[in-house]
Amino acid sequence: MSKISSMKKILLLLILGISITLLPNFVQGVKAEELDSESNTSQIFDEFINSFFKDTSKVNVTNSVGLDYTKEFLSATENLYTQNNLQEIKRFIVDNKLLL
């Protein structure tokens, strides 16, 4: 039983060592992917925003606690939309934790 117990300890230490070694690489990869995804907009996002701005009288924007944010959103993003700056619109949505 002593050999099995010591083998378990060695195996756990090995797993722990590998985890600690690989974790920084994983975290850096995630950060790079997040930054890349934030700087670009997807075709789905572009299509959604285009349909959103076609008729703004029927849209509803809320913040993360459910308060109406429609007027604020439109006043902050209508100019960006006319300039086709969808990246900044996406950033505004993310930064303000909005639901469209």
Query: Residue 14: its pLDDT value, please?
Result: 61
pLDDT tens digits along 39-77: 577 888 888 899 889 988 888 899 888 899 999 999 999
pLDDT tens digits along 26-36: 444 433 344 34
Can you tell me whether residue 54 is helix, strand or coil?
A: helix
**What is the chain's mean pLDDT, rounded?**
76
Predicted TM-score (pTM) of the model is 0.59
Which structure tokens are listed for 7?
């083998």
Q: Half-sphere exposure of 15 toward its Cβ, with a 13 Å CA cutoff?
A: 6
Query: Residue 76: its pLDDT value, please?
Result: 96
Q: Which residues contact 91 (CB under 8 A, 6 or more apart)?
A: 38
